């Protein structure tokens, strides 16, 4: 599923991953037995994700919710897993694809550089890495999970997520702390991409290099819409990004080598109408994969048998915004 990889190498971590948790609303066969029990499940789901609907719209969406619950139950049972619902369970599939799917552009030919490790380059890879539990100075190394909302800007969130962490990792000795960079600036101002209609992590990094920084999110807030570039005059975080490295496609060793320095932006192939990816609520992903890259996501760790990925769908998706993917999934 992991296809093309973009990395910036900065620091080394030797950490153990946390065991995958399951964050969705769990339910059983009993919840599907009647309209009343399904309605109670819908109410419990709404309370868990703080979803409120107008009464008329709520009745309409209850029908979509029932279909979601039944599909999730069927798939989870077949996979030997406990069924659970994420925060997108009362949307139609068309709505999810229209509002949350990302559009990826193919960047031009890129210079491929080896990902270098400190020392003589002969150090073995750590057994596991998890940047979520690594500290940089007195704070975390990894910025919080964000939501791209109704905008196909996963590429922008992957770029800022990588830069936010690498900036913090580089400045750990000085306790520089996390920064909150503006995805909206990339959506509005990166002329090689087309905002909510699609982009490429490579192009975002090129933009950051040219500007030598990005506005903070507070001074350039995210609107999840295409807008006119307003970067001029905004306070900027000086990122000192001079070059980035592109890991060869499907080269797992170099990808794992890169993530020892910090989070790595990757492109993955989800595929059209992938309900298992849409409904993913935690645990190890067991659904299908696509054949062409159509989503950008941040690799933040690995274990002997899985990757840990940070998505940009907010905490209502997956394990509070994270995904666990078998390293041999789709092979």
List the helix and strand counts (H, then E) for the chain. 8, 13
* pLDDT tens digit sequence for 155-199: 999 999 999 999 999 888 788 889 999 999 999 999 999 999 989
Q: What is the pLDDT of residues 264-305, one digit of tens each?
A: 999 988 988 899 999 999 999 988 888 888 899 999 999 988
* Cα–Cα distance for residue pair 46/53, rounded to 1 Å: 9
Catalytic residue among 86, 102, 189, 295: 295
Please give the Cα distance from 26 to 41 (Å, whole number).
Answer: 9
Is residue 204 within 8 A of residue 159, CB to CB? The reply is yes
Task: Work out the angle at residue 142's Cα, subtended by the Cα atoms of residues 162 and 247, and round it to the nearest 5 degrees.
Answer: 35
Which of 189, 274, 311, 329 does the annotation list as catalytic? Answer: 311
196 is catalytic: no
Q: What is the 8-class DSSP label of residue 304?
A: S
8 A C-beta contact, residue 331 and residue 305: no
When mean pLDDT is compared across 19-28, 124-133, 201-210, the lowest value belongs to: 19-28
Domains of the chain (ranges; CATH) run 2-21+102-326 (3.90.70.10), 26-85 (no CATH)
Q: Is 329 a catalytic residue?
A: no
Res 245: pLDDT: 86
From 136, 151, 154, 196, the catalytic residue? 154
- The reply to whether 311 belongs to the active site is yes
Tokens of 195: 């905002």
Between the alpha carbon of residue 172 and those of residues 7, 93, 116, 137, 329, the distances in Å are: 19, 43, 20, 5, 34
Q: Using an 8 Å Cβ cutoff, are 197 and 155 in contact? A: no
């Amino acid at each position: 599923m992991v296809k093309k990889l973009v990395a910036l190498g900065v620091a080394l971590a030797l950490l153990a991953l946390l065991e995958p948790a399951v964050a969705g609303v769990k339910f059983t066969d009993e919840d599907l037995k009647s309209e009343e029990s399904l309605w109670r499940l819908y109410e419990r789901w709404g309370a868990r994700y703080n979803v409120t609907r107008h009464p008329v719209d709520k009745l309409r969406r209850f029908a979509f919710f029932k279909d979601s619950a039944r599909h999730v139950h069927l798939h989870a049972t077949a996979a030997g897993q406990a069924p659970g619902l994420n925060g997108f369970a009362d949307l139609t599939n068309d709505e999810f694809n229209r509002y949350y799917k990302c559009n990826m552009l193919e960047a031009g030919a890129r210079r491929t550089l080896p990902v270098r490790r400190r020392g003589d380059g002969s150090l073995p890879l750590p057994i596991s890495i998890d940047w979520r539990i690594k500290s940089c100075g007195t704070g975390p190394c990894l910025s919080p999970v964000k939501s791209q909302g109704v905008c196909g800007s996963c590429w922008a969130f992957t770029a800022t997520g990588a830069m936010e962490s690498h900036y913090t990792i580089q400045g750990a000795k000085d306790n520089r702390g996390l920064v909150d960079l503006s995805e909206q600036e990339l959506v509005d101002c990166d002329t090689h991409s087309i905002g909510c209609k699609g982009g490429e992590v490579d192009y975002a990094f090129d933009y950051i290099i040219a500007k030598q920084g990005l506005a903070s999110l507070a001074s350039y807030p995210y609107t999840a819409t295409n807008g006119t570039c307003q970067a001029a005059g905004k306070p900027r975080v000086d990122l000192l990004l001079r070059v980035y490295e592109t890991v060869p496609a499907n080269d797992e060793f170099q990808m794992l080598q890169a993530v020892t320095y910090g989070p790595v932006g990757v492109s993955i192939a989800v595929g059209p109408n992938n309900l298992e990816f849409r409904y993913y609520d935690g645990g190890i992903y067991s659904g299908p994969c696509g054949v062409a890259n159509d989503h950008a996501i941040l690799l933040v760790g690995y274990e002997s048998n899985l990757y840990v990925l940070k998505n940009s769908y907010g905490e209502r998706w997956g394990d509070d915004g994270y995904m666990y993917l078998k390293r041999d999934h789709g092979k």
